[in-house]
Structure 1
């Protein structure tokens, strides 16, 4: 037994028994089926609990479970050094307090058992020499005469309770001090002994005295055998405080201490008035006591004589003891430091080197699992004795399932959480004591719901902002309540409702045998009918477009799965347990061997998907084992925890595409460009796949394969299954994939692909002169495909320009339209690259792209010129000419003359000359003179007026050269046909 060990205030353990659909706290000894799984190792606490602290000088020992064993081990630390594992300690069964590790006078006592019962031998190890010896304990569990029970250490000896029969054959026990030399009886003729504190010189013993079997606490001096009664409690309940230090022993009652000197125990006791009535333990120089706080037990201490005030030692303390050296020690837990066995001196945490021993990490208490959106939440006691919530993100990829190392989300502010009830997004609903609280990103949010007995409640659904609670207390007698977290508002709702997406779903009877599933928006109160059914709905579950009726009909063992917006109805077996609807996953339960219960998952909305077994629960599915399991209603995951604390995670979904690249066509013509169709689909899982290509309803080619890395990359060379060349045209394709491990199919992918062997061809047209179709400097251009499968066009243009030395040069091809699906445009209108200039010739080109991804060659040019208007300074008029505004004329003006001999002269630097004029009933004649030679005579007479007419064309040459040109008005053919109306002049360059 740890020397002079006395617990000040025990920690209270809270028990909860609440469940939520989809977050289950039952007890599977889970067996996983073939699937995609990962696991998180058993957690260890970063501030583990050390118990039974005992100290002597610089030696400290304690008991604690290591990460690799479920049994308590003894630990030893010297001068704050690295802890040494002393091995498993004795079983503490039968409800008897057995202190299995202690240190006194530099002797460590480790009590161990080889028969699974109480200690049957105690090893004593001297720290100064390292020598050790073992004292046997005759424990046989019978309780009959001769049976011995280890009760504690006495320096280099041990204290035993030994059973015997007295002279009257009455069953009795005695307290024996056993050393290597001999046994010595200290107390006898009693029913039971409990050693409350001991060292090498004496012990405080709780004895059950005969014949009345009353209670008496005595101090026994080993040297003399003398005893002094300290207290006589009426029950096993100990006094408020007991003092046992190297110099004193006594009892505390309120603020009064009655104590004896150990050097003279038979002398009368002294009475000491204490500065506080809250003291629970006294060492030679220190008073200490616990006070409850949000984080657990806080230790306060002060000097015994009151010279130092009471102070919070700023940490959560577990076990407290006073060693035979008079120094107080406690298990200290702080948020900013490791756990340690810390020495307390004069009411303060000691800062002396060697007065603190780090406690090694032990196994965490994993109380619950919950899943939400691919995040696993675990409530355990890691990092804080009052409990924390850890989260681990789960992912699925080509390498399989994986989970991040659990990270701390929050430390609970009040009490220890034994269950995580539900999660939704970044919010978690927990039960703490008799209250329900919601944490958002680790921070308490909203108004906690105070209950009377949470063990009688059941959380039915939770969406992060609200939860449904079936209150089974006498007050509400099974009523279903809707609780709003932000405001604390509670309202009663009918049975069978569900929460999802900020709405409440419920069923309402609309006829003799018909019911409507209605959605009530909780923000706006708007009500809408989602679907109708012809059976009495049981409880509802809603996720995305799916609605699950857990039963369908009175006393039914069949559920019904609906998809909104469709008439699809699928029955679901609910005979074993109520199914659970997740996001695109349906969880059902079966008994594959007739006894054990299996959890199965079926991917929804995927052709060919069927339920597959995830893991098997044992027969005792309703027991209260420490094991846990849960399913994720937001993402396809399930998890369970085995008896060793290892959390296993299984992916319950179907492969999904993370990337896709499927060309719309190809051209297997042997030119080395796109000779095969090579689509790529990347899945997050290894898959087997089948690709089928069809022409109409006829299958043309089927390709299959396995993508171990999740990357599907088939290649079609344009041939049929028989090896012949497939005809040009459009083909439909369908890709089907299945998970290579689980066999779960992915959603099919389909599309079309074009096969072309001929490059696309297109042609372009434009008016010879812009004046042919316009009154301003814009050119209407059109183009068209000459081959099948053309999907878009590129349109370009060129123009000749004159350098500073007078040389005309045709410029480079410039882009006007790229990848356009239009077939016409106006060059010079809004969006054109340039504004067309008079006197220049613009040449247009087009090329086509087809559905096979081919790009054709540029077409032949279509040339269109911009005429020089009659008002241009490049024209020189002589004689009688008049300028008139004419709306239908080029640039809306004409130059008119009826005087024979009148002329207009200009330079014609180009390859072709064109004269634009108005033909009319009064049209006259003019001559065209080039380089002094008359090259033509033009008569502009017409029975009806016609504007912007090319009335004369003359080829100047094949190269751009400079020419002198002149138009000369001639006499009219009649008096009424003598007027020449010049509109514009165009020289093609």
Structure 2
């Protein structure tokens, strides 16, 4: 903490009941703008408590000075017994920096120093308000700014008088300066013959004064007693810096040097001082009975306190974070408490501790802060506040624009800064901000310093031209001479010179290069790989470049041109001239900002959304004037998202959405077709699209070039949901077939169009029909237990199919029941599959019959009925345990047979028996040139004779089919080998048996 930061004034306790009279009024609160359309407003930012050296206290009366709004003269404020703060009016400018107290209180008298100079100057009169009587008087100060006789400078209050530094010529016409005590009764000289007297502390009884004395102009600090005129030197510093600790209380004057306190009694300043050995050399401040000091920590200044006489063995941690403290004329310490981003207070300390007594805390009214710069990036608004806080602060607020309107989150602190002036340079890219602090450029990532600061020593003539988060382009003093920009890499601190007019975007540097012809090439250099490519050419001398995505803005096209050129890279036709006569246009991501001038000096910012047919330049706001010629602009645009912002004269920051409605990330629901046939399914076409803004919409349906139907509406919540019932404009049914549609959308508030949408829809009135085919037996198509199934559409417009299957099962009582329909394929676009192959729901089992069904879905969203069944049985192999053989049979391996085996017999009378529980019997055998005959006996009755002869061998042939009945019942079946029809044709090759259930 600087040793010269001291506040030293004031006098005795407040007398009697205090009265407040005269023109004292409360400061009106700043009104917050409200807009539920496309503009969001942040209330005026408020400043916190002044520093302690701007606070004067006497008993329960506290006064201070505070700026009431951006860049205006400070006002004086008064609070009694912790009551509501009262505005004492505007004060004089006190920028001379010689310790003048513009507003102070001693006893029951408030001194307000003001100036009649409207531009602000040192006080030319001081008004003394007597709080106990309500009277006031004015003491003139002959201030003329010359410094020559009889120029006067107000230096401090002295109870119901004032201390004035007065220039004069002595009897030898020598220039002199004296310190005068002025009251309504006249002047009395206290000190004279000095070049400068700076009052460090005063009250109604005396003052501490720092003097520069001739002829050596050494520094001396003296205490002067008003009643007697006696003085005592309390310190002789080597420079203008004050001693380690210097203060006076109602009873003592004290100086701390190291761990020693030297003090004089004010009632007898001429007597020898007393010394007190202190337990620490960190003590700084003294009241009648307490010393206090700071210990710096990352969380702020911690304030400690101890007994003034040194009797306390160790200090007590007060536990608070304080910026500064001061001592009033009543000997009571007061601290300025700082709480980030909130209003704060002047708090009285008793014995070094926060006082809980009524009236010992005074809330400072929230005055307007000075938002010196704005920056926008990706929908985040950054504001730099360099107002009267102990340190400046950088704030961020997230912006959104939805169906309920534009909104901004409460500003939150990104970082606090104690050096430099962030308001002079503020740029943002994503979560990174570039600020100027202490003649250096620094980048913060989410509030944390990142990379290597660029220290140039003097940034007064520098300008940041572009910033992408990783690099920035700086137009510094050197560029005036060689026509280049400085490209600075934040992470490494590396820098290089690049051509003037260059731009940054997407990790690349864009420059203009003459290619030896009449054309200029705009080139992109990847800053990571150093790869250079040409993105486009222009046939004019380009001005500076701006690049965002696939768009390039040449700010001027020609040496004396006031027209820019907007270019879509990759296109030879997308080139548009842009007016640059008022101000340089700004290219954002998907938005072009331009400027127009009104009849007066007003300039309007306009925004046109790119890549949207029919979009026009929409006026956003009139640019606010700068606070002064040295201040930053009070408006900004977002080059990453469609936002712009400005701050008005009342300190309210407004952010306006400059975009156009866009569809949300959720996929739109747009049926490909519908079927208005009254069946309750897809009878209307009801597409939906969801936008992030309230929109007006128009849906146009055409057949060829003829408009069939037009639907319009407003989506207050952003959800567009038209419904077409299949009727044309005349109310008649539209013909079955395909139609084209287009959707046109505009923002209901701004009228700005969104990007157009279009597509096709099919209207159908006939439900889709499908058919399914499968072999009667699985053995008809292969030698294994798999079933090839195919299906097909029988109507037009079919887009997919569902395939189902059923099978009969037998319960524990032996009853066969057909099971429920189960799904095998859902909305498949295939036309065939193999049941039993990989991915099938079950493996087909021998002896069961599998039934297959198909249904179709069409492009109108209809689902047809299930088709007729296609049934396939899986036969028992000749080796199945359900078959009982008698006589001579042999087993043979045959690759083409069902399950690759056959049972062979040529013995007359050999039999195979089994129980058939089903509705139909099928015998599968191999036909051969030696094929013999067999009889089929059902329930003791021969129902057929089968001859298996064939000149050509045929495998897996159904050689016999017999209907057992309409219901499933058990039957005894026997196959008996008969004698051959001719010699050599007597062998039966039995392959499989199938009973349909």
TM over 0.5: yes
Partner Cα distance (1:119, 1:245) in 2:
30
Of stretches 896-905 and 741-750 in structure 1, the one that deviates more from structure 2 is: 896-905
Deviation, structure 1 residue 455: 1.7
Equivalent position to 2:159, from 143, 152, 155: 155
Deviation, structure 1 residue 375: 0.6
Partner Cα distance (1:243, 1:49) in 2:
17
2:423 aligned with 1:418: yes
In structure 2, the CA distance between the partners of 1:260 and 1:971, relative to structure 1 (3 Å rule), is closer
Deviation, structure 1 residue 204: 6.4
Give runs of aligned pairs for residues 851-870 of structure 1, distance below 5 A.
851-870=859-878
Equivalent position to 2:473, from 447, 468, 472: 468
Partner Cα distance (1:833, 1:498) in 2:
62
In structure 2, the CA distance between the partners of 1:918 and 1:355, relative to structure 1 (3 Å rule), is same
What's the secondary structure of 1:908's corresponding residue? Answer: strand
What's the secondary structure of 2:962's corresponding residue? Answer: strand
| 1:435-473 CA-partner distances (Å, limit 9, x unpaired) | 111111111112211112112222222222222223324
- Alignment check: 8 A CA contact 1:471 1:477 kept: no
Of stretches 50-59 and 248-257 in structure 1, the one that deviates more from structure 2 is: 248-257
- Alignment check: 8 A CA contact 2:580 2:594 kept: yes
In structure 2, the CA distance between the partners of 1:774 and 1:536, relative to structure 1 (3 Å rule), is farther
Equivalent position to 1:357, from 350, 354, 361: 361
2:203 aligned with 1:199: yes
Give runs of aligned pairs for residues 349-748 of structure 1, distance below 5 A.
357-360=361-364, 361-381=366-386, 385-412=390-417, 414-473=419-478, 479-567=484-572, 568-593=574-599, 595-617=601-623, 623-625=629-631, 628-658=634-664, 659=666, 660-748=668-756
What's the secondary structure of 2:329's corresponding residue? Answer: coil
Partner Cα distance (1:570, 1:901) in 2:
101
- Alignment check: 8 A CA contact 1:868 1:984 kept: yes
Deviation, structure 1 residue 743: 1.6
What's the secondary structure of 2:899's corresponding residue? Answer: helix
- Alignment check: 8 A CA contact 1:89 1:101 kept: no
User: Who is 1:21 aligned against?
Assistant: none
Deviation, structure 1 residue 630: 1.0
- Alignment check: 8 A CA contact 1:379 1:420 kept: no
User: Who is 1:54 aligned against?
Assistant: 56
**What TM-score does the superposition give when structure 2 sets the normalisation length?**
0.83
2:875 aligned with 1:873: no
Any gaps of 5 or more consecutive residues in structure 1? 9-30
In structure 2, the CA distance between the partners of 1:548 and 1:674, relative to structure 1 (3 Å rule), is same
- Alignment check: 8 A CA contact 1:44 1:67 kept: no
**Of the two structures, which has the highest relative contact order with CA contacts closer than 8 Å and spacing of 6 or more?**
1
- Alignment check: 8 A CA contact 1:364 1:381 kept: yes
Partner Cα distance (1:539, 1:887) in 2:
83
Partner Cα distance (1:294, 1:550) in 2:
47
- Alignment check: 8 A CA contact 1:718 1:725 kept: yes
User: Who is 2:44 aligned against?
Assistant: 42
Deviation, structure 1 residue 389: 1.5
Deviation, structure 1 residue 142: 9.1
Deviation, structure 1 residue 613: 1.6
What's the secondary structure of 2:460's corresponding residue? Answer: helix
In structure 2, the CA distance between the partners of 1:453 and 1:938, relative to structure 1 (3 Å rule), is same
Partner Cα distance (1:678, 1:739) in 2:
22
When the two structures are aligned, how many residues end up with a matched partner? 953
What's the secondary structure of 1:635's corresponding residue? Answer: coil
Of stretches 304-313 and 821-830 in structure 1, the one that deviates more from structure 2 is: 304-313
Give runs of aligned pairs for residues 769-788 of structure 1, distance below 5 A.
769-788=777-796
- Alignment check: 8 A CA contact 1:465 1:485 kept: yes
- Alignment check: 8 A CA contact 1:51 1:318 kept: no
Give runs of aligned pairs for residues 166-205 of structure 1, distance below 5 A.
183-187=185-189, 197-202=201-206
| 1:385-441 CA-partner distances (Å, limit 9, x unpaired) | 222211111000112110000011222365453345211111111111111111111
Partner Cα distance (1:801, 1:601) in 2:
73
User: Who is 1:11 aligned against?
Assistant: none
| 1:111-136 CA-partner distances (Å, limit 9, x unpaired) | 6789978687735344xxx5422224
Partner Cα distance (2:910, 2:321) in 1:
117
What's the secondary structure of 2:918's corresponding residue? Answer: coil
Deviation, structure 1 residue 644: 1.9
- Alignment check: 8 A CA contact 1:378 1:420 kept: no
Equivalent position to 2:986, from 962, 971, 978: 978
- Alignment check: 8 A CA contact 2:60 2:360 kept: no
In structure 2, the CA distance between the partners of 1:301 and 1:553, relative to structure 1 (3 Å rule), is farther
- Alignment check: 8 A CA contact 2:661 2:692 kept: yes
| 1:672-704 CA-partner distances (Å, limit 9, x unpaired) | 333222222222211111111122333221111
User: Who is 1:959 aligned against?
Assistant: 967
Partner Cα distance (2:73, 2:437) in 1:
28
Deviation, structure 1 residue 720: 1.1
Deviation, structure 1 residue 150: 7.3
Partner Cα distance (1:336, 1:618) in 2:
25
Deviation, structure 1 residue 874: 1.9
Give runs of aligned pairs for residues 214-363 of structure 1, distance below 5 A.
223=227, 226=229, 246=250, 263=267, 321-327=326-332, 329=334, 331=336, 333=338, 339-341=344-346, 357-360=361-364, 361-363=366-368
- Alignment check: 8 A CA contact 2:414 2:446 kept: yes
Any gaps of 5 or more consecutive residues in structure 2? 9-32
- Alignment check: 8 A CA contact 2:7 2:53 kept: no
User: Who is 2:85 aligned against?
Assistant: 84
Partner Cα distance (1:734, 1:546) in 2:
27
| 1:50-90 CA-partner distances (Å, limit 9, x unpaired) | 553223345433222457995544444566x3553253254
Deviation, structure 1 residue 216: 12
Partner Cα distance (2:939, 2:220) in 1:
146
| 1:944-964 CA-partner distances (Å, limit 9, x unpaired) | 222211122222221122222
Of stretches 190-199 and 730-739 in structure 1, the one that deviates more from structure 2 is: 190-199
In structure 2, the CA distance between the partners of 1:438 and 1:310, relative to structure 1 (3 Å rule), is farther
Partner Cα distance (2:886, 2:246) in 1:
136
- Alignment check: 8 A CA contact 1:436 1:449 kept: yes
- Alignment check: 8 A CA contact 2:381 2:397 kept: yes
Partner Cα distance (1:286, 1:834) in 2:
93
- Alignment check: 8 A CA contact 2:776 2:873 kept: yes
| 1:508-559 CA-partner distances (Å, limit 9, x unpaired) | 4444134444433333334444444444443332222223233334444333
| 1:264-291 CA-partner distances (Å, limit 9, x unpaired) | 67x6998999999999988778899999
- Alignment check: 8 A CA contact 2:178 2:189 kept: yes
Deviation, structure 1 residue 717: 0.9
Partner Cα distance (1:739, 1:258) in 2:
76
**What TM-score does the superposition give when structure 1 sets the normalisation length?**
0.83
In structure 2, the CA distance between the partners of 1:338 and 1:932, relative to structure 1 (3 Å rule), is same
- Alignment check: 8 A CA contact 1:668 1:674 kept: yes
User: Who is 1:946 aligned against?
Assistant: 954
Deviation, structure 1 residue 582: 1.3
Deviation, structure 1 residue 579: 2.1
What's the secondary structure of 2:654's corresponding residue? Answer: strand
Partner Cα distance (1:255, 1:631) in 2:
57
Deviation, structure 1 residue 766: 0.8
Deviation, structure 1 residue 775: 1.0
What's the secondary structure of 1:418's corresponding residue? Answer: helix
User: Who is 1:132 aligned against?
Assistant: 134
